[in-house]
Chain A
Amino acid sequence: MRVSFTVNGRDESVDDVWAGESLLYVLRERVGLPGSKNACEQGECGSCTVYLDGTPVCSCLVAAGQAEGRQVRTVEGLADGDRLDPVQEAFVECGAVQCGFCTPGLIVQAHDLIERVPDPSDAEIREALAGNLCRCTGYEKILDAVRLAASRKAVTP
């Protein structure tokens, strides 16, 4: 089947999509956006988190056909040209990245958190990131990065 949707503001139309294919597979293998990572394929790890019509979801659990006519925003769509999004900048500055595999999902999820909750408490950050697994960092630097990004957003909305 053909699936047409908008990715990071650009219209995409993909042919020969298998009915059981995930949105994640389409993004990575057919649209050429490998930023969203494929790890658990069962919604446990959050590495494939993307915005679907503005809501963060695990793209491995969205059937490609369900994206028909909808807006998808991936980690590739957060930066403005060469200018990183404040959440991305904060991850770099805080050393919140080690192997990097969980990073795209965490960045999308953290981006959503500080859009919705401008000054999140530590409990709110932990709750928001509960579905994103990182096996390297121990999360402390990630929490630092989210706090930093939130504080900058508060200064320059």
Chain B
Amino acid sequence: MEFLRPTTWAEALAAKADQPEAVPIQGGTDVMVEINFDVHRPPALLDLNQVGELATWSREGDTYRVGAGLPYVTIIEELGGVLPGLAQASRTVGSPQIRNRGTVGGNLGAASPAGDSHPPLLAAGAVVEVESRARGVRMIPAHEFYLGVKRSALEPDELIRAVRVEAARGPQYFSKVGTRNAMVIAVCSFSVALHPGERRVGTGIGSAAPTPRRALEAEEFLAGELDWDARLDSAVLKRFGELCSRAASPIDDVRGTADYRRHAIAVMARRTLTWAWNDYRKVRAA
């Protein structure tokens, strides 16, 4: 096994182009587990820790560009106000030690249906910025990024450079079911983001389908039925939960049954929408 250590982004792209089978490594919180347990023995590791720009974030107008190597702890400490959904999800990742090393870029690269950052990225309408030496930059909307269990739209010669997320214009919430408050891989998870300007609600379902996915029918239903000047109607709320549950296609596994996941998605959908709606009404009243 080779260990590749590029120090610039151009070098990293060149290394990936020359050795597409090299596995990129940032915090190592997924990649090293697979190596320690001999699940995966890639011909090369491509260490991106020395490409300093990846561990930074910047602002371009209303959009925040989160570097693929920015650890969760920095998202929590520095971006909680503008990207509340992603920051909430980041707080539920692993333990402090894992949040010190783990990155959204790694979460996207692994493309596990249970990854915590996916639902808020979907709900917020994030865009994944990927790049290759041969074809340059591609912008992939989060909802087109996840293709299957641990499969993404990333080509073998591409690297994830950043994820672009618009600053929240309305309340956002993330909810996750697990057996304790830390060190939990989601049994299932759910994220909601209100976009009051467009009178639209974004959703993201985690760990209840082969990929993270939006509940599209539920979003369309709210776009038609939600009265943005009134209290949340209980029939609308109930229907929203049902439609979110229906958007999931979960399996039975060691963490939970499909039935339980379908039930929990409906509960989390109703709860997160209620929390978001209460915040929205409070802000409007104030």
Contact = CB atoms under 8 A, between A and B. Distances in A.
B47 A66 contact: yes
Most chain B beta carbons < 10 A, residue from A58, A61, A131: A61
Given A56-B100, A130-B96, A131-B97, A42 B37 contact: yes
B27 A61 contact: yes
Nearest to A113: B96
A56 B1 CA distance: 27
Interface stretch (A17-25, A74-82, A85-93, A145-153): A17-25
A49 interface: yes
B33 interface: yes
Contacts of A132: 95
Q: Would you call the interface of chain B mostly helix, strand, loop, or mixed?
A: mixed
A33 interface: no
Given A62-B28, A65-B5, A43 B94 contact: yes
B97 A49 contact: yes
Contact of A65 (B29, B47, B101, B183): B47
Contacts of A19: 1-3, 44-45
B98 interface: yes
Interface in A9-58: 18-20, 22, 41-44, 46, 49, 55-58
Contacts of B31: 63
Contacts of B36: 22, 41-42, 60
A63 B25 CA distance: 9
Nearest to B25: A63
Interface string A132-153: 1000000000000000000000
Contacts of B49: 66
Q: Chain B CB within 10 Å — which of A43, A55, A68 has the most?
A: A43
A46 B29 CA distance: 12
Interface residues of B, number: 29
A130 B182 contact: yes
B41 A20 contact: yes
A58 B33 contact: no
A109 interface: yes
A62 B71 CA distance: 14
B25 A66 contact: yes
Interface string A97-124: 0000000000001000000000000000
Contacts of A130: 95-96, 181-183
A68 B95 CA distance: 25
Contact of B45 (A49, A63, A109, A131): A63
B32 interface: yes
Contact of A63 (B28, B95, B96, B181): B28
A109 B27 contact: no
Contact of B101 (A1, A58, A109): A58
Interface in B1-29: 1-3, 5, 25, 27-29
Interface of B: 1-3, 5, 25, 27-29, 31-33, 35-37, 41, 44-45, 47, 49, 94-98, 100-101, 181-183
Interface of A: 1, 18-20, 22, 41-44, 46, 49, 55-58, 60-63, 65-66, 68, 109, 127-128, 130-132
Closest 3 CB pairs of A and B: A131-B95, A130-B182, A19-B3
26 contacts: A1-B3, A18-B1, A41-B36, A42-B37, A43-B95, A44-B183, A49-B97, A57-B100, A58-B97, A58-B98, A61-B27, A61-B28, A61-B32, A61-B33, A61-B98, A62-B101, A63-B25, A63-B28, A65-B3, A65-B45, A66-B28, A66-B47, A127-B182, A130-B181, A131-B96, A131-B182
